[in-house]
């Protein structure tokens, strides 16, 4: 049988992974994500692809592959591509970040999605609080140690450490030998040793091809390496030194970050106040004992935004929100004890500061990655304006979800692999220097690479 790898996304870009592996009649997609910079020549925060047009607006600019037997009937309604019964046997999802799963909503619901058990919990929380790209499709879960077959391909998922729980890499046994796929990974998170487990499993398989991410493979990555433990330490120091309100924005599904902030609060006698969405996620994840998430009510409180006619009436809140009203912290509550609070405030909730009216002299912690495109820079500028307007200090404290360049090189050389295929990177060419053995094959979007 001929085995081929075709990358439809993540090519010369960070994120947007869509990797088709075909082995004879068996076809699986490794991730089906939305690229961060995808279509920015045509779309921006003011011009979005129309939901109602399904895949049509994406096809117009070549942002999604026109593959037969992949998309749902509704997604194709207004396109030149005819709906056909599924020709893709499965989507194998590495983790619940939109650059890996954001386009699954357009896929035929008859194509099953395989994901980690924790990813399924994160999906449930997202689904209940506004919707998830995995809604309405069959989800089959796995854990490290499992092996499952999709047609001719046997899949071995192995956990990796990343900035969201439930992230995996894979070893695929095909009729022409094993293929290893890293997903997104780092070694400097609290569970860094999980990435070593993946590397060992991949190395043992002696893959004929290694598909690896390289987010931080670039000439510009001069960031001082900060681990998640340091995030907790530095946050603790900041909280100790400041008598005023401290607030932060960070990706709420980065549970390691929630824990770091929670620990910093514990050490300094502050209360961590999170958004309702984060609270719901923590509630969902508490069944996974290994994650040790803080408990809503006991450990963390929930920020209560004014809704409806401007009050806090039960009936103004969504059903899923009402369970948190008892643990709610209103703007007035935050104001009353501002030196005793660390408030998680997503960027889009910044106007809440107008209600809180914090004393000048507090601190804002920018706990997300630095901007990597113009849109991101504009977002950052706006945050800085809010922070300045309220007389707060701006601090960046962040541990990346991705390994730095040397560690990516280390992984590539430890695993080996006759072919090394760099994806999820702006500089795939730099892998030619990093990889000491094996052929580095630079993928071209939509062009298949035979094994
Ligand atoms: Zn990614």
Domain 228-396 in the same topology as domain 3-219+401-450: no
Pairing of strands 419-423, 209-213: parallel
Question: How far does the centroid of ligand 1 lie from the alpha carbon of residue 334, in Å?
Answer: 35
> Distance from the CA of 345 to the center of ligand 1, in angstroms?
23
Helix H or strand E segment including 238: helix 228-241
**302 CA distance to ligand 1 centroid (A)?**
29
pLDDT, tens digit (0-9, with 9 covering 90-100), for 285-309: 999 888 889 999 999 999 999 988 8
Q: Ligand 1: distance of its center to the CA of 97 in Å?
A: 7
* Cα–ligand 1 centroid distance for 45 (angstroms): 20
pLDDT at 224: 66
Q: Where are the domains of the chain?
A: 3-219+401-450, 228-396
| Residue pair 139/113 in contact by the 8 Å Cβ criterion | yes
Q: CA-CA distance, 132 to 103, in Å (whole number)?
A: 10
pLDDT digit string, tens, across residues 169-179: 999 999 999 99
Distances (CA, A) of 270 to 245, 273, 301, 361, 405: 10, 9, 11, 17, 37
Q: How far is the CA of 424 from the centre of ligand 1 (A)?
A: 7
- Spatial separation of the C-alpha atoms in residues 176 and 151, rounded to whole Å: 14
Amino acid 223: pLDDT: 65
Please report which confidence band the pLDDT of residue 368 belongs to, taking 50, 70 and 90 as the band edges: confident
**pLDDT confidence band for 252 (50 / 70 / 90):** confident
User: For 3-219+401-450, CATH number?
Assistant: 3.60.15.10
Residue 213 CA to ligand 1 centre (angstroms) = 8
* CATH architecture for segment(s) 228-396: 3-Layer(aba) Sandwich (3.40)
Residue 184 CA to ligand 1 center (angstroms) comes to 6
Kindly give the distance from the C-alpha atom of residue 53 to the centroid of ligand 1, in angstroms, as a whole number.
26
For the stretch 400-412, pLDDT in tens is 999 999 999 999 9
Under the banding of pLDDT at 50, 70 and 90, the label for residue 194 is very high
Question: Rounded distance, CA 319 to CA 316, Å?
Answer: 9
């Amino acid at each position: 049988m001929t085995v081929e790898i075709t990358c439809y996304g993540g090519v010369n870009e960070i994120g947007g992974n869509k990797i088709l592996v075909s082995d004879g009649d068996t076809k699986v997609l490794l991730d089906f994500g939305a690229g961060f910079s995808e279509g920015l020549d045509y779309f921006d925060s003011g011009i979005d692809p129309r939901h109602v047009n399904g895949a049509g607006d994406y096809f117009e600019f070549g942002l999604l592959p026109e593959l037969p037997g992949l998309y749902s009937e509704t997604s194709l309604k207004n396109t030149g591509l005819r709906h056909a019964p599924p020709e893709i046997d499965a989507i194998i999802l590495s983790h619940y970040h939109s650059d890996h799963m954001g386009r699954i909503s357009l896929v035929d619901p008859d194509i099953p999605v395989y994901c980690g058990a924790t990813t399924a919990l994160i999906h449930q929380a997202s689904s209940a609080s506004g919707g998830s790209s995995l809604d309405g499709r069959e989800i089959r879960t796995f854990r490290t140690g499992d092996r499952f077959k999709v047609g001719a391909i046997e899949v071995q998922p192995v956990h990796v450490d990343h900035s969201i729980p439930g992230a995996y890499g894979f070893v695929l046994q095909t009729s022409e030998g094993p293929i290893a796929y890293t997903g997104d990974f780092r070694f400097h998170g609290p569970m860094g040793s999980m990435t070593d487990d993946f590397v060992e499993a991949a190395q043992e398989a002696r893959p004929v091809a290694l598909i690896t991410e390289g987010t931080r493979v670039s000439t510009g990555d001069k960031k001082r390496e900060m681990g998640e433990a340091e995030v907790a330490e530095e946050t603790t120091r900041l909280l100790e030194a400041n008598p005023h309100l401290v607030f932060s924005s960070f990706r709420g599904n980065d549970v390691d970050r929630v824990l770091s902030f929670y620990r910093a609060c514990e050490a300094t006698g502050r209360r961590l106040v999170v958004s309702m969405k984060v609270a719901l996620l923590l509630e969902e994840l508490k069944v996974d004992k290994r994650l040790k998430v803080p408990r809503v009510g006991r450990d963390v409180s929930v920020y209560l935004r004014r809704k409806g006619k401007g009050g806090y009436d039960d009936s103004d809140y969504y059903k899923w929100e009402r369970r948190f009203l008892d643990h709610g912290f209103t703007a007035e509550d935050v104001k009353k004890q501002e030196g005793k609070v660390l408030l998680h405030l997503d960027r889009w909730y910044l106007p809440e500061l107008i209600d809180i009216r914090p004393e000048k002299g507090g601190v804002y912690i920018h706990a997300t990655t630095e901007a990597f495109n113009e849109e991101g820079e504009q977002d950052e500028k706006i945050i800085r304006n809010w922070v300045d307007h309220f007389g707060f200090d701006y601090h960046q404290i962040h541990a990346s979800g991705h390994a730095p360049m040397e560690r990516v090189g280390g992984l590539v050389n430890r695993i080996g692999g006759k072919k090394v295929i760099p994806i999820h990177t702006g500089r795939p060419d730099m892998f030619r220097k990093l990889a000491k053995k094996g052929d580095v094959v630079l993928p071209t979007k939509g062009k298949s690479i035979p094994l």
